[in-house]
Structure 1
């Protein structure tokens, strides 16, 4: 057992070192490369995806494969760009690691519940939005908290994930609330269940996924921000970004997008599938 934890510790330290090294300097490893051209040559696109987020990207422990809406979208976009034999490779990322891994060349693009914001546009380039999310809160059934306004009550503790813009938004919409940041959504949900906070906040699509797996918890109050998700590529990869946008338009036009959306969200209670459909 000690050997197992020693190995995990070494692996974690190595990962952190990789991310730290890739964050140093202003020029990314991809800046002098043509990512689209390289992907066409290798017939492969490597995607940074979430592996801990129900409905969007979640690791299936039975087959060790990541499954979800963004995974299916990445596969569809890969086929659209590279053809039916094109390969999509998936690398799990977190809110903290996704940009460093992109800039270091470990992944070609990020499709991982990443909201398009002016601050992030200083680091990466985004495609047009592929999912219009909105920030909301998840609480235990029967909670006296019914909206973000209730979080503003003195002493309310809100759980969020480090590196997400959700925790920053709480400072605007519930300035009196205390925010406890965890490293990922699994830890944040565990903290909510153990009573370390009264609510968990992030984008509504992610929270709906949590409520599906945990019927004792519900999304309340509706959305109080707009959080459009975009695919992120390294700055300067304009040809790749334009090709991704073209592929997005194609899968929307031929109905592939709506099929994938319905597969993952069509039967989720509280989610407005009709409003999210693309023509």
Structure 2
């Protein structure tokens, strides 16, 4: 009898734990599709793409407007959207835990990432570029031989540049940072020789003392990113991007933020 009571207690505890874990998990797909409030991850350090307006305390930029339009086409005009700042390192985990429903944050589509996340078709295409001090005397990619490149954590930049360096027969060193302002500060102080990321991002950090080298690498296609489990939401988001391309809305948003393809 005592043995049976112990077994019964363990089974009950196990069932309770399972219920608890299920309740704490990410919301199911139907719940995500019928939300009144949609949570979207965005950048807060990329001028023209995602940045908080210091006066209004609202996020602004190309990707903010793209995400708003996508959400309206999925959920209706009255949907409430809550934006949350993410980095290249945090955006994936926040999707996986269900804290975010989708991400529009210069998230480059790759075959490897497709194994973990759902991506829409690209809404913007860019290339990796290099920003250096004018006074440093660098002229092109090969002149960076032996120098240190500042890159963002968990971004595709380092891999793209390493492949290009191997092909060009030069050596590079890399230093990773958690945000773009940190990389820019490292370049200003001389801790790195170059700030490298997608060209559209670099353009927001250019000033009279900086320049972009002429080289460009690895096309970077940005897609709205959604957790792998939410296939229906991903399909609807992809359909929304497709419609925005056809009816001209995507191009209008690009023009609003001074972007070209």
The CA distance in 1 between the partners of 2:254 and 2:139, in whole Å, is: 28
The CA distance in 2 between the partners of 1:83 and 1:235, in whole Å, is: 23
* Among candidates 69, 94, 102, match of residue 87 of structure 2: 94
1:157 matched to 2:148: yes
Higher relative contact order (CA 8 A, sep 6+): 2
The CA distance in 1 between the partners of 2:109 and 2:161, in whole Å, is: 17
Range with greater deviation from structure 2 (240-249 or 80-89) = 80-89
* Among candidates 39, 42, 65, match of residue 35 of structure 2: 42
* Among candidates 112, 127, 143, match of residue 134 of structure 1: 127
The CA distance in 1 between the partners of 2:140 and 2:114, in whole Å, is: 30
1:171 matched to 2:166: no
Structure 2 SS opposite 1:205: helix
Aligned length: 234
Structure 2 SS opposite 1:116: coil
The CA distance in 1 between the partners of 2:208 and 2:73, in whole Å, is: 37
The CA distance in 2 between the partners of 1:92 and 1:47, in whole Å, is: 9
* Among candidates 181, 193, 196, match of residue 198 of structure 1: 193
Structure 2 SS opposite 1:52: coil
Structure 1 SS opposite 2:73: helix
- Tell me if structure 1 keeps the 8 A contact 2:161–2:217: no
The CA distance in 2 between the partners of 1:106 and 1:208, in whole Å, is: 31
Q: TM-score, normalised by structure 1?
A: 0.79
* Among candidates 97, 106, 129, match of residue 104 of structure 1: 97
**What is the aligned-residue RMSD (CA, Å)?**
1.8
The CA distance in 2 between the partners of 1:56 and 1:128, in whole Å, is: 18
Structure 1: 5+ residue stretches without partners: 1-27, 267-272
2:177 is matched with 182
Q: Please tell me whether Structure 1 or Structure 2 has the larger radius of gyration of its CA atoms.
A: 2
The CA distance in 2 between the partners of 1:179 and 1:105, in whole Å, is: 32
Correspondence list, 1:1-279, <5 A: 29-30=25-26, 33-34=28-29, 37-151=30-144, 153-154=145-146, 156-175=147-166, 176-211=171-206, 214-266=207-259, 273=260, 276=261
The CA distance in 2 between the partners of 1:256 and 1:143, in whole Å, is: 42
1:24 is matched with none
1:270 is matched with none
The CA distance in 2 between the partners of 1:141 and 1:165, in whole Å, is: 26
The CA distance in 2 between the partners of 1:218 and 1:163, in whole Å, is: 25
Structure 2 SS opposite 1:227: strand
